[in-house]
Amino acid sequence: MKKDVTTEEKILTAARKVFLTRGMDGARMQDIADEAGINKALLHYYFRNKDQLFEKIFLEVAHAFLPRILGILQSESTLFEKIERFCNEYISQVINTPYVPIFILNEINRQPQAFLKKVFGTNKPPVEKLIAQINKETKAGIIKPIEPLQLLMNTLSLCLFPFLVAPMIQLVTGMNTKQFNSIMEKRKKEVPKMIIASIKK
């Protein structure tokens, strides 16, 4: 049997929708087959299992998303501008693909070296320029002394953590997904404001 590009794209479109609405754990191959309008046997011909299908979708997202994030970090913008743009871009992406953070954490814990190779190839994450900029702006008296790694972790954590505990937040507060996403939209401005206020001289 010859694989058809149209059928494969139909499967990927269906899988994105199912993963988005049901999450990685809640999604079943039968759900994806039904959404794509094909039988389960045909789905398994294209993708052996759910993990293989999810990995393909994740890598598509990563390869579309990472260049934008890395472009921000490597740009000539000021540090404060980079923090604002990073938070906006990162939160926007995770609102659209909320299943990705859990997958990343699972893969990093399961096979860190293999995961980084899938995403970055033989290259290391290019953060040297940002680290040098943080050190330079510290010496220039623009920001308070802070370890670059601490600043990176603080920024990423404030953007990411609410998504990781979203089910608990929604359960405790009674919010639905739309209301939660509305709160996260506000964090696009709140997070950089907090970060910049903590380091600005």
Side-chain-facing half-sphere of 14: CA atoms under 13 Å: 24
Nearest to 69 by CA among 31, 104, 30, 25: 104
Instruction: Using the Cα atoms of residue 137, residue 140, residue 144 and residue 146 in order, give the sign of their dihedral.
Output: positive
Q: How many domains does the chain have?
A: 2
158 within a domain of the structure (yes/no): yes
The answer on 73 and 22 residing in a single domain is no
- Give me the DSSP letters along 1-67: ----HHHHHHHHHHHHHHHHHHHHHH--HHHHHHHHTS-HHHHHHH-SSHHHHHHHHHHHHHHHHHH
- The residue range of the domain holding 12 is 1-48
Residue with tokens 């010859």: 2
What CATH number is associated with residue 171? 1.10.357.10
CA–CA distance, 191 with 130 (Å, rounded to integer): 19
pLDDT at 59: 82
The answer on 141 and 98 residing in a single domain is yes
The answer on 113 and 42 residing in a single domain is no
Q: Yes or no: say if 87 and 192 are a contact pair by the CB < 8 Å rule.
A: yes
Token readout for 45 is 């011909």
CA–CA distance, 181 with 187 (Å, rounded to integer): 10
The answer on 135 and 170 residing in a single domain is yes
pLDDT at 3: 64
What CATH number is associated with residue 34? 1.10.10.60
56 within a domain of the structure (yes/no): no
Flag residues of the chain having pLDDT under 50. none
Cα-Cα-Cα-Cα dihedral of 140, 132, 197, 187, to 10°?
A: 160
Q: Yes or no: say if 61 and 100 are a contact pair by the CB < 8 Å rule.
A: yes
pLDDT at 154: 95
54 within a domain of the structure (yes/no): no
